[in-house]
Chains A and B, each alone.
Chain A
Amino acid sequence: GDSVTQMEGPVTLSEEAFLTINCTYTATGYPSLFWYVQYPGEGLQLLLKATKADDKGSNKGFEATYRKETTSFHLEKGSVQVSDSAVYFCALTLLSGSARQLTFGSGTQLTVLP
């Protein structure tokens, strides 16, 4: 079945450090890929997305590139801020066939220290 594997957390960084959170996927078709962010006590918010190979999604300084050859969608940010502290979820969905649901990774807790 379809699945998403994320880097184990928690991740603790100092402000202005470089961030990478690894995400790889397994899918039977051609998925769309997403990163969602969940701040404490809140719901999930879409951070960025990519719908086909070699697409780069970007938002708020975060970037991720859809790599079909390595089935990966790693999240990066060049300089993190304390306000980036949250849980980050990688997810996929297939838009063909009957499946429409999002399949999530386990989430990666990020803490940024001042």
Chain B
Amino acid sequence: DAGVIQSPRHEVTEMGQEVTLRCKPISGHDYLFWYRQTMMRGLELLIYFNNNVPIDDSGMPEDRFSAKMPNASFSTLKIQPSEPRDSAVYFCASKIDGGRGGYTFGSGTRLTVV
């Protein structure tokens, strides 16, 4: 298995532009999570899905952020318009329900908004 795949690995964009981050979870995993990592705030859960349905989006910072999971093999996190304070590393993770194993994380997308 290729693991959780995120793209792009790095993104540099100008303030005000739309940014779309992508994630492909491990096949068969029914939970998908989006986390944001910054030096100041550490790892924060933004949103998670179960069977493609958003379960908890209370971590989404504001309306500029939106996430979708149109099918079991793909999710997007969109920021529109982007701001410099959105600069962070965004991680996607997936897991299978019922298992007591850990979550599998992608390599992350490093976003820089200038």
Q: Which residues of A contact B (CB under 8 A)?
A: 32, 34, 36, 42-46, 49, 51, 89, 93, 95, 98, 100-104, 106-107
User: What string of 1s and 0s marks CB contacts (under 8 Å) between B70-102 and chain A?
Assistant: 000000000000000000000101010100111
* B108 adjacent to A43 (CB under 8 Å): yes
| B12-56 contact mask (Cβ, 8 Å, vs A): 1 or 0 | 000000000000000000010100000000110100101000011
Is B48 touching A46 in the complex (CB atoms < 8 A)? no
Number of interface residues of B (CB under 8 A): 22
Is the C-beta of B103 less than 8 angstroms from some C-beta in chain A?
Answer: yes
Q: Is the CB of B45 within 8 A of A101?
A: yes
The contact of A100 among B91, B95, B101, by CB within 8 Å, is B95
Contact A104 B48 (CB under 8 A): no
- The smallest beta-carbon distance between A67 and chain B, in angstroms, is 18
Task: With both chains docked as a complex, state the minimum distance between the C-beta of B97 and any C-beta of chain A, in angstroms.
Answer: 7
Chain B interface residues (CB < 8 Å from chain A): 31, 33, 42-43, 45, 48, 50, 55-56, 91, 93, 95, 97, 100-108
Residues in A neighbouring B104, C-beta threshold 8 A:
46
Which residue of A34, A43, A100, A102 has the most chain B CB atoms within 10 A of its CB atom?
Answer: A43
**Contact, CB under 8 Å: B42 / A102:** no
Q: Flag if A101 contacts B42 (CB, 8 Å).
A: no
**A-B pairs with the 8 shortest C-beta distances?**
A46-B102, A43-B105, A104-B43, A43-B107, A44-B105, A51-B100, A106-B42, A43-B108
Closest chain B CB from A13 CB (angstroms): 22
Q: Is the Cβ of B106 less than 8 Å from the Cβ of A43?
A: yes
Q: Are A100 and B31 in contact (CB under 8 A)?
A: yes
Instruction: Contact check, A34 vs B43: say whether CB atoms are below 8 A apart.
Output: no
Say which residue of A32, A93, A100 sits within 8 Å of B50 (CB atoms).
A100
What are 12 A-to-B residue pairs whose CB atoms are below 8 Å? A36-B105, A43-B91, A43-B107, A43-B108, A49-B100, A49-B102, A98-B55, A101-B33, A102-B45, A102-B93, A102-B103, A103-B45
